[in-house]
Amino acid sequence: MSLPLAAWFARLGGVDPAPFFVLSLLPYLAFLWWAQKVRAFPRLALRGFQLTLLFVAVTIAAAVVAQLAYGRQLAEVDPLHGGAEAFLTLSNLVVLLGFRPRPEQPLPGEQVLRGRGAAPPDPEDGASASAS
């Protein structure tokens, strides 16, 4: 049972991972494109997801430096590796903070109630709110 799996894993190791990393960029850009059109998507979380692109850019640059200056892959040059990965720690933190629960967050449908409670309904305000 474990033997075929081990053989498959060994074969997997012979595959070049680079094209998958390159290919994964396209759906990620599509993700960002659609996500920014979602009005309820927390803007801070969106920033975090965008920052991930910075992490990718820094990682590529660091990998090139590791190869040219040390003739090694990025994971073998610890300061470059850690320095690049720190950008992912940052972007993930921003994503997490973007989705953290905020009590003042307007709920769908609740906005109307809150608007009524805060001020007497102005017919013009109401019209513009429903139009937008």
Partner 1 sequence: MHALSLPTWWIHITSVLEWGLAILAVQAYGRLRREGGWRWLALAMVPALVSAMAACTWHLFDNSEALKGLVVLQAGLTALGNGALALAAWNLLRLQRLAPEDGTP
- Binding residues for partner 1, rule: CB under 8 A, are 9-15, 17-18, 20-21, 23-28, 30-35, 37-42, 73, 75-76, 78, 81-82, 85-86, 88-89, 92-93, 95-96, 99-101, 105-109, 111-112, 129-130, 132
The 3-state DSSP composition of the chain as helix, strand, coil percent (nearest 5) reads 75, 0, 25
Smallest distance from partner 1 to CB 79, Å: 8
**CB 120 to partner 1: min, Å:** 18
Per-residue burial over 26-43, b if 16 or more Cβ lie within 10 Å, else e, is eeeeeeeeeeeeeeeebe
Query: Is the Cβ–Cβ distance between 67 and 73 less than 8 Å?
Result: yes
Cβ nearer to partner 1, comparing 69 with 82: 82
The encoded tokens of residue 19 equal 């094209």
Q: What is the smallest separation between the CB atom of 9 and partner 1, expressed in angstroms? A: 4
Do 31 and 49 meet the contact criterion of CB atoms below 8 Å apart? yes
Cβ distance 54 to 107 under 8 Å?
Answer: no
Is 29 or 61 the residue whose CB approaches partner 1 more closely?
29
Closer CB to partner 1, 10 or 68, in the complex: 10
Tokens of 5: 């799996």
Query: Minimal distance in Å, beta carbon 68 to partner 1?
Result: 19
Q: Which is nearer to partner 1, 70 or 99 (CB)?
A: 99
